[in-house]
Amino acid sequence: MNKILEVNGVTGGYTSSQTVIKNITFDIHEKEIVALIGLNGAGKSTTIKHILGLLQPREGSIQIAGQTFASNPDTYRLSYGYIPESPIYYEELSLWEHLELMAMTHGVERQLFLERVKPLLQEFRMEEMKDRFPHQFSKGMRQKLMIMMALLVEPRLFIVDEPILGLDPLGIRSLLTWLEKCKEQGAGILMSTHILATAERYCDRFIIIHKGEIKMQGTLEELRQQTGFSHHSLDDIYLHVVEAEDK
């Protein structure tokens, strides 16, 4: 499989004197979903912010489809779709206008936009809300807006940060079903999550990050081999790794 995201030896943080993540190295290939898991403060969000181009590594490099942020920031930003943990929106734009804006900034032609947007509105049960504004939405509806905006542009890479928080059961099912479809069509997906049972069911590989460093990564079977937990769940393996590191 071709590599879509390459993170090589990245060390960085929010200030020049504060190191939050150290020597982070992993890849995301096409047609796979990879879970980034760790405790609060483990370095997941900092890693994601470096991938998004919001923070620049002090050491190491990040490439999406062979492009770095420094070489071409605009092209780099258009190569991924981002679903944040906390919805980000414009109060003065309706749901439909948010989707139109997303399509325009990513060069999605009008006819293609109309073909893509209808099934998204149906899937996430937001058809009746399309002309309303975000301040009229519940938290889950705002999260659905973020999800639809990312899915609409069909990028090669999805970066999904705690996507399940705030969603109802039908919304969770719709998101995971749609991500699986994107995967089958060739996308790579990096998903940060605390819901390990969901990660175990839907993700192909797992990255365990703790205290700013990757402690283990691989398929569930590879993690089992590395820990000797031959028949254990991802949850059991994760807790074992974290507790062993804290002793």
Could you identify the residue written with the tokens 């994760």?
238
Q: Is the pLDDT of residue 1 over 80?
A: no
Say which DSSP state 85 is in. Answer: S
Residue 197 near residue 118 (C-beta atoms within 8 A) = no
Q: Please give the structure tokens belonging to residue 79.
A: 């190569």
pLDDT at 244: 82
pLDDT at 17: 81
Instruction: List domains and CATH numbers for the chain.
Output: 3-79+155-246 (3.40.50.300), 87-154 (no CATH)
- Phi, psi dihedral angles at 45 (to 5 degrees): -65, -35
Q: Quick one: average pLDDT of 103-123? A: 95
Residue among 212, 202, 236, 150 at smallest CA distance from 34: 202
Each residue's pLDDT tens digit, 134-159: 999 999 999 999 999 999 999 999 99
Q: Is the pLDDT of residue 79 over 90?
A: yes
Half-sphere exposure of 102 toward its Cβ, with a 13 Å CA cutoff? 30
pTM of the model: 0.93
